Amino acid sequence: MLLAGRKILVTGVLNDRSIAFAAARLAQQEGAEIVLTGFGRGLSITRRVAEKLPEPCPVLELDITEPDHLSAVAADLESRWGRLDGLLHAVAFAPPSALDGNFLHTPWPDVARAMEVSTYSFAALARACAPLLAKAGGGSVVGLDFDAGQAWPGYDWMGVAKAGLEGCCRYLAHALGQQGTRVNLVASGPLRTIAATAINSFTSLQTAWDRSPLPWDVTDALPVGRAICALWSDWLPAVTGEVIHVDGGVHAVGAAPAPVTSAVGRDLDPVPAQVR
């Protein structure tokens, strides 16, 4: 089994359609032991969702912006397992004022909140868990991204936060590499998760995937979950500081596929239109 005996912490599970849930379920199927986290009003929801996993698992309280919560989770995992083989940072948030065309009008406190939750917390969680990861021989830290190489209308300050997350990933990979810890991000295409419902312009993001070289299903988090599990495994031992795109290939093309005709008039399969 790919993850036999691994001990893994998964944040961000709020329903069974989330990327985090898909990763947790697959990890259990591949032999891992899982602990989930939740906080506030979502804590009871996460506990109910944990019952839907192949093996119901513990749920710890974690507000990722609270240092005391981070310390308490690390202490629990120390006493529970004595080590940590992998973790998933699947947490992001931006106030409505930071999304959907408000970029020029978002006040700094709302920008700061988006950056704290969506960017800084990645480093904070990794820092809190670093000693446990070291005890596992290094372990693997994985975060969730949405391609920050370009501007997405309506994504606004969350896009800036994701760009910061990508930079944070590289610096974390450098900082934790000496203890053997790998740090990577998985950049997913758009999926109809709870996070997506907070973005009124989600439909416009979704239509951008009309140019996807491979079919993309906005209801299927399984491909992203598989990539996360691969990063938790031993199969990518020298990959760190990387952003792995699981988006059907949209990041690699600049225009929607268009049918072309060969010199003898036979229709060919659609190929990406040339960008001039």
Query: What is 7-272's CATH topology?
Result: Rossmann fold (3.40.50)
Which amino acid would we find at residue 100?
A: D
Query: What's the sign of the alpha-carbon dihedral 271, 272, 273, 276?
Result: negative
Which amino acid would we find at residue 88?
A: L
C-alpha span between 43 and 272 (Å, rounded): 45
Q: How confident is the model over 31-51, as a mean pLDDT?
A: 95
pLDDT tens for 47-77 read 999 999 999 999 999 999 999 999 999 999 9
Instruction: Characterize 46-76 residue by residue with b for buried, 16 or more Cβ atoms within 10 angstroms of its Cβ, and e for exposed.
Output: bbebbeebeeebebbebbbbeeebbeebbeb
Query: What residues are labeled active site?
Result: 155, 162
Q: Where are the domains of the chain?
A: 7-272
Q: Is 19 helix (H, G, I), strand (E, B) or coil?
A: helix
pLDDT tens for 172-225 read 999 999 999 999 999 998 887 666 566 666 677 777 778 889 998 988 999 999
Highest mean pLDDT among 213-227, 232-246, 260-274: 232-246
pLDDT score recorded for residue 201: 66
Q: Is the pLDDT of residue 272 over 80?
A: no
pLDDT tens for 130-144 read 999 999 999 999 999
Q: Comparing C-alpha atoms, which of 185, 26, 23 is closest to residue 92?
A: 185
Tell me the average pLDDT of the chain. Answer: 89
Q: Is the pLDDT of residue 270 over 70?
A: no
Q: Is the pLDDT of residue 265 over 80?
A: no
pLDDT score recorded for residue 256: 58
pLDDT score recorded for residue 32: 98
Do the beta carbons of residue 180 and residue 134 sit within 8 Å?
yes
pLDDT score recorded for residue 196: 57
Confidence of residue 260 (pLDDT cuts 50, 70, 90): very low
184's CB contacts (< 8 A; 6+ apart) are 140, 141, 142, 143, 169, 173, 231, 239, 240, 241, 242, 243, 244
